[in-house]
C-alpha cells in the first residue's frame, strides 16, 4: 500500500524546485545524493548523429546541441511568423468564429471563462482585449479554486447567470474539454457554448456549439502542443481574418499579443516544438524591444528582470510564478487585471499585489517544505521499493500548492506521484506529476476504467494532471494507481537519467560560448536548455545568501577558473578535490559586467 492517511505532514517544494527558481536565478537544489544513494542518476550524453545536416548553423557547439534535440534541418530553426501553420486547419474554428461574429453583429454578450493559472490568465486577457477591440460586449469569469473547482462547471454557470439576449456566447479558454456538465448547464441557461482548450479530451466531447482544441479527434492542425493561450491566439486570428473579410475597420494587430502568448506558453510548461518556439521567440523579441503592455513591464520590475535580457527561463521562474500565486492562494482576477491594465500606475499596483501574494505562497511553501523533509526522511526508512506509483495525503495541506508536493516527491523518488489535499464540498483535490515517458493522464484513464466510480473527475497532460475523489475512495485509488503505473513503468523509465550535451573544452568555458547558448533558444520542455558535465577541481568555496554554495572551480584538464553556483546547498565540498559536475553554462551580469559561470544541478566526487 503506497497511500498513507497518517503520512507525516510533508509538503511542497521550496520555490526553487519544479515550478520556480531561486530568487538568484538558480535551477533548484543540487542533487548530491549520487555518491551515497542507490538511486543515483545515470549521466548520459545525447545522441547527435545528424549535426552535420545543420550546416547553416555557424556554431559547431550549437549544431551538436540542436541535433541532440532532434533538429535535422536548418528550417526547423526558422522562427518567423510566416512559418506558422494556418488557423484554417483547426477543427471547429469556423463554427466558433460564426458564433462570435453573430454576437459581435447583434450585440450579444460574450462571457469568457478562464482558468486560475498563468496560461488561463494570459488566455483570458488576450481574448477579452481582442474581442473588446473588435467591439464586443465582453467580460470574464475566473472560477474560484475552492468554491467552483477547475474549469467550466454548473456552479460557474450559476454564478454567471443567463445571457441578456439570445446571441450570448460563453467562451472557455484553457479549459472546457472535460466540462460536460458545465457545457450542458450553459446551453440550458441560454448561452451558445464555445470550448477553446488544449487539454486532452476524454472518451466523449462536451455538447458545445463549437470546440476548438487541436487534440480533439479529427483535428488536422499540426500544433498539438499549443498551450491554452496559443489556441486562444489562433482563434482570435481566425476571427480577425473573418472580420477583415467583412470590411470591419480598426481591427487589432494580433502580433501585439505575442508577449502574452510567450508568457502563457512558457509558464504552462508545454513542449517547445517548432510552433511553440516560434510563438515564444516572437513574444520575447517584442518584450525585449519594449513592445509590451504595462502589466508585463510591471511584472518584470517586481521580479527584478530587465526587458532587454528577458529569456524563457525568466518567464518560467519569475513572471509565471507571480501570476500563478494569485490563482493558488487568492484571485486570478488580479493577474488578469494586471495584464489588461492600460495605466502604468495601476499595473504597478497590481504587480506589487501579485508579488506580495507570491511571497505569501513562498512562506507557506517554506513551512510545508520543512514538514515534507521530515516526512520524506521517515518514508526513506520504510520499504517502498515495491511501489510503482505513490499516493500521499495530508489534511493540513493547501490545495493551491499541493501540486508542488507531488513535484517534490516525484523528484526525490523518480516515481509518478499523486498528492491530495482537502478540497471543496468535502472532496479530496489531487495533483499528479509524472516522470519522463509515462503519460499520467493515460494512467488516470486506466484507473477510471479499472475502478469505475473511484475518481469523480480528472484531466490534464502527459506529465501533469488533476483529479477529484471522495475521501473514502482514497485507499482504493492508491491501489489502482499503483497497479496502473506498474503496467506501464519500464526499467528505462524507472531509472533517473541526466541527459547532457557532453563535455566542454577549456576554451569553450567562456563568456562567448555562454552567450551563444543563451541566444540559441528559446529553451524549455522537450527542447531543454543545454546541460554539460565534466570533472572540476574545487579551488575555493563559501556560503552566500545563507543557503547557497558558491564555488570557484577549475577544469581538471584545463587552467581556466570559473565561479559555480550550487543553489540550495550548504554542505561544503572538499577543497582541492575533483568532482564531476552537471551544469549549465550561463551568462552572469552584475553592474553591466558579464562573465560566464556554471549553474550546477548535480555533483558527485570524481571517484
pLDDT (0 to 100) of residue 153: 93
* pLDDT tens digits for range 455-482: 998 888 788 899 999 999 999 999 999 9
- Lowest mean pLDDT across 21-25, 359-363, 407-411: 21-25
Pairwise pLDDT comparison (30 vs 362), residue with the higher score: 362
Indicate the pLDDT class of residue 602, thresholds 50, 70 and 90: very high
- Lowest mean pLDDT across 160-169, 357-366, 442-451: 357-366
Q: How many residues does the chain have?
A: 607
pLDDT (0 to 100) of residue 16: 23
pLDDT (0 to 100) of residue 382: 53
Indicate the pLDDT class of residue 22, thresholds 50, 70 and 90: very low
pLDDT (0 to 100) of residue 412: 79
- Closest C-alpha among 438, 445, 442, 535 to residue 495: 438
**Torsion angle of the four alpha carbons 108, 155, 477, 400, in this order, in degrees rounded to the nearest 10:** 90
List the domains of the chain with CATH numbers.
Answer: 3-17+373-494 (3.10.310.30), 83-353 (3.90.1640.30), 497-605 (2.40.50.460)
- Lowest mean pLDDT across 252-261, 365-374, 463-472: 365-374
Indicate the pLDDT class of residue 378, thresholds 50, 70 and 90: low
pLDDT (0 to 100) of residue 38: 42
pLDDT (0 to 100) of residue 370: 60
Pairwise pLDDT comparison (227 vs 73), residue with the higher score: 227
> How far apart are alpha carbons 319 and 302 in whole angstroms?
9
Instruction: Give the SS3 label for residue 600.
Output: strand
Strands of 192-196's sheet in order across: 137-141, 109-113, 169-173, 192-196, 210-212
- Determine contact, residues 229/119, Cβ cutoff 8 Å: yes
- Whether the per-residue pLDDT at 204 is higher than 50: the answer is yes
pLDDT (0 to 100) of residue 365: 67
- Whether the per-residue pLDDT at 1 is higher than 50: the answer is no
> Dihedral of CA 268/274/279/281: which sign?
positive
Locus of grid cell 526525490: 412
Indicate the pLDDT class of residue 327, thresholds 50, 70 and 90: confident
334 sits in which H/E element: helix 333-340
Mean pLDDT comparison of 35-39, 218-222, 421-425, highest-scoring range: 218-222
Q: What predicted TM-score, i.e. pTM, was given to this entire model?
A: 0.86
pLDDT (0 to 100) of residue 139: 97
pLDDT (0 to 100) of residue 368: 64
| Mean of all residue pLDDT scores within the chain | 88
Indicate the pLDDT class of residue 151, thresholds 50, 70 and 90: confident
Mean pLDDT, residues 474-499 taken together: 92
- Lowest mean pLDDT across 95-109, 232-246, 258-272, 448-462: 448-462
Radius of gyration over every alpha carbon of the chain, rounded to an integer in angstroms = 24
Amino acid at each position: 500500500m503506497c497511500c498513507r492517511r497518517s503520512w507525516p505532514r510533508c509538503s511542497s517544494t521550496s520555490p526553487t524546485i519544479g515550478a520556480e527558481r531561486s530568487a538568484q536565478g538558480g535551477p533548484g537544489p543540487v542533487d548530491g545524493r549520487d555518491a551515497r544513494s542507490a538511486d543515483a542518476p545515470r549521466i548520459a550524453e545525447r545522441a547527435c548523429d545528424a549535426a552535420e545536416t545543420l550546416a547553416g548553423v555557424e556554431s559547431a557547439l550549437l549544431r551538436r546541441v540542436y541535433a541532440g534535440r532532434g533538429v535535422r534541418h536548418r528550417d526547423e530553426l526558422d522562427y518567423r511568423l510566416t512559418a506558422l501553420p494556418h488557423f484554417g486547419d483547426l477543427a471547429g474554428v469556423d463554427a466558433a468564429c460564426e458564433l462570435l461574429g453573430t454576437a459581435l453583429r447583434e450585440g450579444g454578450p460574450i462571457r469568457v471563462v478562464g482558468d486560475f493559472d498563468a496560461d488561463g490568465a494570459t488566455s483570458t486577457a488576450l481574448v477579452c482585449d481582442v474581442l473588446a477591440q473588435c467591439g464586443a460586449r465582453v467580460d470574464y469569469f475566473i472560477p474560484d479554486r475552492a468554491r467552483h473547482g477547475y474549469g467550466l462547471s454548473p456552479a460557474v454557470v450559476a454564478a454567471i447567470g443567463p445571457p441578456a439576449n439570445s446571441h450570448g456566447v460563453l467562451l472557455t479558454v484553457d479549459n472546457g474539454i472535460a466540462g460536460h456538465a458545465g457545457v450542458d448547464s450553459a446551453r440550458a441557461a441560454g448561452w451558445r457554448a464555445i470550448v477553446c482548450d488544449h487539454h486532452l479530451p476524454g472518451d466523449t466531447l462536451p455538447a458545445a456549439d463549437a470546440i476548438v482544441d487541436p487534440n480533439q479527434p479529427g483535428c488536422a492542425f499540426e500544433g498539438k502542443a499549443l498551450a491554452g493561450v496559443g489556441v486562444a491566439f489562433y482563434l482570435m486570428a481566425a476571427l480577425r481574418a473573418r472580420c477583415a473579410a467583412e470590411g470591419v475597420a480598426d481591427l487589432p494587430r494580433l502580433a501585439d499579443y505575442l508577449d502574452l502568448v510567450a508568457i502563457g506558453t512558457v509558464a504552462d510548461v508545454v513542449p517547445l516544438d517548432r510552433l511553440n518556439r516560434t510563438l515564444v521567440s516572437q513574444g520575447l523579441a517584442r518584450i525585449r524591444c519594449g513592445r509590451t503592455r504595462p502589466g508585463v513591464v510591471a511584472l518584470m520590475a517586481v521580479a527584478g528582470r530587465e526587458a532587454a535580457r528577458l529569456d524563457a527561463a525568466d518567464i518560467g521562474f519569475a513572471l509565471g510564478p507571480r501570476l500563478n500565486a494569485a490563482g493558488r492562494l487568492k484571485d486570478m482576477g488580479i493577474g488578469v487585471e494586471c495584464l489588461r491594465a492600460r495605466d502604468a500606475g495601476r499595473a504597478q499596483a497590481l504587480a506589487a499585489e501579485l508579488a506580495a501574494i507570491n511571497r505569501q505562497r513562498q512562506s507557506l511553501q517554506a513551512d510545508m517544505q520543512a514538514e515534507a523533509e521530515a516526512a520524506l526522511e521517515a518514508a526513506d526508512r520504510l520499504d517502498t521499493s515495491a511501489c510503482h506509483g505513490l499516493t500521499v495525503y495530508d489534511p493540513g495541506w493547501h490545495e493551491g500548492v499541493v501540486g508542488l508536493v507531488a513535484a517534490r516527491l516525484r523528484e526525490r523518488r523518480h516515481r509518478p506521484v499523486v498528492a491530495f489535499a482537502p478540497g471543496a464540498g468535502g472532496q479530496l483535490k489531487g495533483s499528479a506529476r509524472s516522470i519522463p515517458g509515462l503519460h499520467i493522464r493515460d494512467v488516470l484513464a486506466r484507473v477510471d476504467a479499472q475502478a469505475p466510480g473511484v475518481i469523480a473527475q480528472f484531466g490534464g497532460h502527459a506529465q501533469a494532471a488533476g483529479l477529484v475523489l471522495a475521501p473514502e475512495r482514497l485507499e482504493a485509488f492508491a491501489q489502482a494507481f499503483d497497479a496502473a503505473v506498474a503496467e506501464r513503468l519500464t526499467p528505462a523509465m524507472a531509472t533517473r537519467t541526466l541527459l547532457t550535451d557532453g563535455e566542454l573544452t577549456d576554451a569553450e568555458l567562456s563568456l562567448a560560448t555562454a552567450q551563444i547558448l543563451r541566444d540559441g533558444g528559446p529553451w524549455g520542455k522537450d527542447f531543454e536548455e543545454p546541460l554539460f558535465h565534466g570533472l572540476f577541481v574545487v579551488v575555493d568555496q563559501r556560503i552566500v545568501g545563507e543557503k547557497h554554495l558558491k564555488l570557484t572551480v577549475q577544469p581538471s584538464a584545463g587552467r581556466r577558473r570559473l565561479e559555480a553556483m550550487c543553489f540550495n546547498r550548504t554542505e561544503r565540498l572538499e577543497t582541492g578535490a575533483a568532482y564531476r559536475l552537471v551544469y549549465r553554462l550561463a551568462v552572469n551580469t552584475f553592474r553591466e559586467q558579464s562573465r560566464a559561470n556554471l549553474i550546477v544541478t548535480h555533483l558527485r566526487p570524481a571517484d
